Structure 1
Amino acid sequence: MSYLRALYSTYENNLDEVGIVSTKETRDQKIIEYMLLPISHTTQTAHVELTVNLDGTFNNAKVINKISTILPFTEGSGSRAGKNFTAPHVLHDKLMYVAGDYVAYTNDIEKRVGFTTYIQQLKEWCESPYSHEHVKAIYNYVKQGTVIRDLVSSSILYLNELELLSAKKDLKMEDKPEIFSVLTGEQESTFVRFNVHIPGDITKPIWRNKDIFDAYINFYNTKLKENDICYVSGENAPIIERHPNKLRNSGDKAKLISANDSSGFTFRGRFKESIEAANISYDVSQKAHNALKWLIERQGKTIDGRVFLIWGSKNPDIPHVTNDLSDDTFTGFNSLLMEFETDDSSYVDTKEVLARQYKEVIAGIKKKVNISEVDDEIIYVLTIDAATPGRIAVLYYRDFQVNDYLEKILKWHTSASWRQVHKKDDKWIEYYGSPSFYTIAHAAYGPHPNDKVIKGVVERLMPCVLDGRRVPLDIINSAIVRASNPQFYKQTWEWKRALTVACSLVKKRYEKEGYKVALDKTNTDRDYLFGRLLAVADVLERSALGKEGNHSTNALRYMNAFARQPERTWKIIQMNLQPYQMRLREKGIHYSTLIDEIASTIRIESFNNKPLNGKYLLGYYSQRQDLYTKKDKTDEGEK
């Protein structure tokens, strides 16, 4: 129950956000709206907006493009399923509930009870002390039973020759009305939302009117009768057995808390009644679920239905563990991440320098989200997913003190830091840090892994950051294999990204050995030295080819074979280097001397065909970076 308590507290701490519409831009640059819903309200995709006058007469109607609408609901309507026609929403709903003439235009007598129940509970609200004039206007219109007739006369719905609602298949493709552009089924499934028009007066829409929200909340509270001890709050309050769904989106039917069968194994065997297993009050359930919906829409990361969510008890804006610190979320901190150049232009990543740089970044993050050094804010980490359409489960839940959480992020980004590179909007972006989980998934399992692969990688890496677990070896090995095969990639930058990600993971794996981007000439590790040899061969051939050479070097073509059989493959690479050494002349002698120096450092018994581990990539990258850096400085001096 601890996660429900956290969500309930989050709702209570953000009461100013209740009923306020917020917007955000999606990855495909669409603007979507979301809201911290008031209790006793849910969302539903509406297809038609029907406007009435204040005196209860019809005004107009129009088709709307699958817009999510906020509406009051009951415990029963929030969990209705199948052929349960006796649980309508209270105001906006499908035709079978809001249209008194539904049976006349469909001959579906079985659903007559839908309108009877709907109009009865709407009447009960209107006759209560908590009614609203706009709700009364809608009630006065709906009770006349002319909804479908008015929609037909407005060319929203269409009839066949029998004066019944036309089936989709009976209409010619070119004649299909606008309503079918938003409906996936037949006209009978149309969801209608109502609004009120007052001439000369600008009124808030029904689904945005906080006065109407409050009126319904007060009315529905009078309908809650049975009190008991709430397992979350510990208070004696009205309880419920059926809890909300639509957590991840408006069409999500999966529930966190559900016990709707008396013959299965949901609670039988341990408890006699479902409330003995989870006795939660209406107020807590509504606020906790609405807070979860709001947080998911606001900042949750959803991958193939799995939601990864991180938020703070006081301030929801907390850096997500899946991001890298150069993410656009923290624009402005990037300059801090690039302050690693020294006088000789080598990248220094000692523990002291990294700690200083990243602490500045963390300090900037704290300032941005208003966190002080003595802040008692709690950070919550939650992962949920649904194995079946009706049940959703909590896969991971932890809470941390804010400073502990940020220290864990700091440690991860320090220990897995490397010089990263990627391309965005045709621009090269370089930064010094650890890659995001998404980048790791792409580097380890191909440029375009499916969502199931990505969510699996994210789920397995989160405990590595938050619980200090070791990075799974299969992810590291997969990244090494792909980095060792440049020919897998159509674009050079994609391979470079895969290489830097693999270096980050290998560095993390051997973090006690203190590997860094700057070349370590004192390192005598066999694999590291073989990587240096490969880098010199690569740079030598590339320098000889110059701008005219647009094909891969021998070092890159044989990279995979070199990792598997270094001694045998090195002989082939070195033999192929001879013409390029001759072309470079004096520069070729410099590279040849460097090769001899590195090779002489490898012990004779270690110069064999034993496969190389990931350390060879660290040696390759550092030596290559060192050679190109010195070459750039030489060119500048000559100029």
Structure 2
Amino acid sequence: MSWLLQLYETYNANEDQVGRTIKKPNDKEYTLLPISHTTQNAHIEVTVNEDGEFLTAEVLEKENTIIPCTEESASRSGSKIAPYPLHDKLSYVAGDFVKYGGIVKKDLPFSAYIHNLREWAESPHAVKKVKSIYTYLSRERLIEDLVKHKILVLDERDNLIQKWDKQYEVTYGKKPQIFSSGATDQFSVFVRFNVYSPSSLEKVWKDKEVYDSFIAFYKDKLGNEDIDYVTGEVSPSTERHANKIRHAADKAKLISSNDTTGFTFRGRFKTSNQAANISYDVSQKAHNALKWLIHRQGKTIDNRVFLIWGNDNNDVPLPDEDAWDLLQHTKVKTDRVVDTDKPYAEEIKKAIAGLRSNLSYQSDVNILVLDSATTGRLGVLYYRNMNKELYLNRLEAWHKYCAWLHHYRKRDGIPVSFFGAPATKDIAFAVYGPRVSDKVVKGLMERMIPCIIDGRHVPRDIIKSAVQRTSNPIAMEKWEWEKNLTITCALIRKHYFEKKEVCEVALDYESKDRSYLFGRLLAIADVLERRALPREETRATNAIRYMNSFAKNPSRTWKTLQDSLQPYQAKLGTKVTALTRLIDEVADQFEMEDFNNKPLSEKYLLGFYSQRRELYKKKENINESEEKNL
């Protein structure tokens, strides 16, 4: 229940945001809903005056609208009559629905709707706008007015046209707008109401007075007080909980106990309330806060939601981001020339230290992962509530130990380098390839989050798969392989840190590990051949082409590589003396029994990267010296 309590407290801490609509960069909107309210896509807007007389109507393009709702209407099915209190489908709000060809299966939905609306309009909590809408709808002429104002159209029998056909073009000309509103047909359009009032220009579905009016009215109708398992207080309980958690069409629920024939609670408890009793107020606030947070800052991949939020309203760095994103969010400058990994490691520390300085008393961070196995059930796959100080310490450790020097990010189209952990999504691409499905990506992200948040070991199969893909560079483009190489090196570094072994980006001249030494030899062979090739030549070197074979049979493949290097050594002449001498120096570091065909460990990639980087740095330094002499 702790995640429900945290969401409930988050709602209470942000009550000033209730009803405020925020537009995202992609033009989608989200709102922290008032309790006893939900959202629906409206197709028609009807405006009446304060006396309940029809003024105007217009067709909408699936505009998301905040509407009041009851427990029954929030979870109604197609055959169940459960009207929304104010805005609803045409079959509920139009008293002349049957007159114009509407078909109802059982009781007239309008009767239930207008009865409930009358109760609200005549209650002590009613406001003028609600009374005006009730006055108009009680006259039972909504469809008549919509037809008169050419919002809805009739066929030759004076029934609503269910499906537009070219035969109606003779009568109506072009296709009426209502058939492009997103509604299935005219009978199923959703209608929202507004009241023109000189004293209150706020739209009905945005009016706080209307929100508060229905909340107070509906609160009086709630009963069955019991102990709430979340707060420990006695208040009206509920067995019906919200859906539409991830998006407007989401039917999955986090909490449901309507299965009395299965094993949801039977066999352990007599009633569902004994298993989990949650008050109406807590359920509404917690679910509304969750919807708001998901739209505001959640990350959804193949319907799996990854959500991180803090209860102090300060920015919380996300665990799935790479070090570059972390530095950008905290506005730490990264314009220095990359020489070693130490400057970047210090910048990560400074960035997190800055976030740590914003901590408030008892500041917490919540990490929640949600997904559904079926269309009706949503489950919590992972949840942690932890002190923000501890969370930042874990994040700092992740960016310290699962770190390497990366070159695949760009700023304003210019490549930039950064030192730190890669993003979990980039890890997924390195492990499974760039065309991997979202289903696989979300599975890997779920497995990586405990490695970051809980400090667990990176799963061995993830490292193994990344090493295998990186060991086969000819199967991918050069830029992709270079990106995979640094990401894989970061995972390898984290693996050896877990074994209390330090692996740095800088070349380790003292290492006697056979895999590391073989990796160094492979890098020297790659650089030697690359220097002999023309600058415009883009083909892979023999060292890159034989990399996969080299990892499996190093000593045998090295003999093949040495033979292939001879023409390039002859071409370079004395320019290759330093590299030839370096090959001999590295070979001398082998123990006699280690120079064999036993497959290499993942450490050979570290040796390869570090040696190649060191050679390129020396080449750059030589070129700079030559330019200065000129």
Give TM-score scaled by structure 2 length.
0.94
* Residue 436 (structure 2) pairs with residue 449 (structure 1): yes
Do the aligned partners of 1:71 and 1:207 also contact (CA within 8 Å) in 2? yes
Show the counterpart of 1:261.
259
Q: Over the residues paired in the alignment, what is the CA RMSD in angstroms?
A: 2.1
Q: Which runs of 5+ in 1 are unaligned?
A: none
Show the counterpart of 1:315.
313
- Distance (Å, rounded) in 1 between the aligned partners of 2:131 and 2:94: 16
State the Cα deviation string for residues 311-355 of structure 1 (Å, max 9, x = none): 11222631111112321784354535x7685xxx3x145xxx776
Tell me how far 1:548 sits from its aligned partner: 2.2
One-letter amino acid of the structure 2 residue matched with residue 395 of structure 1: L
Show the counterpart of 1:280.
278
1:363 and 1:105, CA in 2 relative to 1: closer, same or farther beyond 3 A? same
State the Cα deviation string for residues 594-630 of structure 1 (Å, max 9, x = none): 1121122222322222222211111111111111111
One-letter amino acid of the structure 2 residue matched with residue 228 of structure 1: D
Tell me how far 1:171 sits from its aligned partner: 4.8
State the Cα deviation string for residues 563-596 of structure 1 (Å, max 9, x = none): 2222222222222222221222222121111112
- Distance (Å, rounded) in 1 between the aligned partners of 2:59 and 2:471: 56
Do the aligned partners of 2:294 and 2:307 also contact (CA within 8 Å) in 1? yes
Do the aligned partners of 2:310 and 2:363 also contact (CA within 8 Å) in 1? yes
| Local SS of the residue matching 2:322 | coil
Do the aligned partners of 1:243 and 1:285 also contact (CA within 8 Å) in 2? yes
* Residue 9 (structure 2) pairs with residue 9 (structure 1): yes
1:59 and 1:580, CA in 2 relative to 1: closer, same or farther beyond 3 A? farther
From 360, 380, 387, the counterpart of 2:350:
360
| Local SS of the residue matching 2:218 | helix
Do the aligned partners of 1:326 and 1:333 also contact (CA within 8 Å) in 2? no
| Local SS of the residue matching 2:28 | strand
From 44, 61, 65, the counterpart of 2:61:
65
* Residue 509 (structure 2) pairs with residue 521 (structure 1): yes
- Distance (Å, rounded) in 1 between the aligned partners of 2:552 and 2:149: 73
- Distance (Å, rounded) in 2 between the aligned partners of 1:111 and 1:158: 26
Show the counterpart of 1:56.
52
From 264, 271, 290, the counterpart of 2:269:
271
Show the counterpart of 2:87.
92
* Residue 487 (structure 2) pairs with residue 501 (structure 1): yes
Identity %: 51
* Residue 108 (structure 2) pairs with residue 113 (structure 1): yes
Show the counterpart of 1:592.
580
State the Cα deviation string for residues 24-46 of structure 1 (Å, max 9, x = none): 32xxxx12221211111111122
State the Cα deviation string for residues 516-568 of structure 1 (Å, max 9, x = none): 11111111111111111111111111111141212111111122221222222
Tell me how far 1:414 sits from its aligned partner: 0.4
* Residue 125 (structure 2) pairs with residue 127 (structure 1): no
* Residue 391 (structure 2) pairs with residue 405 (structure 1): yes
1:226 and 1:556, CA in 2 relative to 1: closer, same or farther beyond 3 A? same
* Residue 614 (structure 2) pairs with residue 626 (structure 1): yes
State the Cα deviation string for residues 70-106 of structure 1 (Å, max 9, x = none): 1100011111113102x11111111111111222223
Tell me how far 1:494 sits from its aligned partner: 1.9
Tell me how far 1:66 sits from its aligned partner: 1.9
* Residue 208 (structure 2) pairs with residue 210 (structure 1): yes
Matches within 5 A, 1:178-327: 178-183=177-182, 185-198=184-197, 203-315=201-313, 317-327=315-325
| Local SS of the residue matching 2:608 | helix
Show the counterpart of 1:161.
156
* Residue 423 (structure 2) pairs with residue 436 (structure 1): yes
Tell me how far 1:256 sits from its aligned partner: 1.1
| Local SS of the residue matching 1:247 | coil
One-letter amino acid of the structure 2 residue matched with residue 82 of structure 1: G
Do the aligned partners of 2:341 and 2:405 also contact (CA within 8 Å) in 1? no
Q: Which runs of 5+ in 2 are unaligned?
A: none
* Residue 468 (structure 2) pairs with residue 469 (structure 1): no
- Distance (Å, rounded) in 2 between the aligned partners of 1:553 and 1:23: 51
Show the counterpart of 1:42.
38
Do the aligned partners of 2:47 and 2:55 also contact (CA within 8 Å) in 1? yes
Do the aligned partners of 1:103 and 1:111 also contact (CA within 8 Å) in 2? no
Do the aligned partners of 1:92 and 1:98 also contact (CA within 8 Å) in 2? yes
State the Cα deviation string for residues 421-454 of structure 1 (Å, max 9, x = none): 2244643232111001111011111112211111
| Local SS of the residue matching 1:239 | strand
State the Cα deviation string for residues 149-196 of structure 1 (Å, max 9, x = none): 333333333333332232336457995443333426233221111122
Show the counterpart of 1:534.
522
Show the counterpart of 1:82.
78
Show the counterpart of 2:366.
380
* Residue 147 (structure 2) pairs with residue 152 (structure 1): yes
- Distance (Å, rounded) in 2 between the aligned partners of 1:181 and 1:432: 52
One-letter amino acid of the structure 1 residue matched with residue 24 of structure 2: K
The count of aligned residue pairs is: 620
Give TM-score scaled by structure 1 length.
0.92
From 530, 538, 544, the counterpart of 2:532:
544
More deviation, 523-532/169-178:
169-178
1:244 and 1:348, CA in 2 relative to 1: closer, same or farther beyond 3 A? closer
| Local SS of the residue matching 1:327 | helix
Do the aligned partners of 1:423 and 1:493 also contact (CA within 8 Å) in 2? no
Do the aligned partners of 1:322 and 1:462 also contact (CA within 8 Å) in 2? yes
Show the counterpart of 2:447.
460
Do the aligned partners of 1:528 and 1:620 also contact (CA within 8 Å) in 2? yes
One-letter amino acid of the structure 2 residue matched with residue 404 of structure 1: L
Do the aligned partners of 2:73 and 2:83 also contact (CA within 8 Å) in 1? yes
| Local SS of the residue matching 1:310 | strand
Do the aligned partners of 1:103 and 1:112 also contact (CA within 8 Å) in 2? no
One-letter amino acid of the structure 2 residue matched with residue 405 of structure 1: Y
- Distance (Å, rounded) in 2 between the aligned partners of 1:591 and 1:329: 38
- Distance (Å, rounded) in 2 between the aligned partners of 1:590 and 1:329: 39
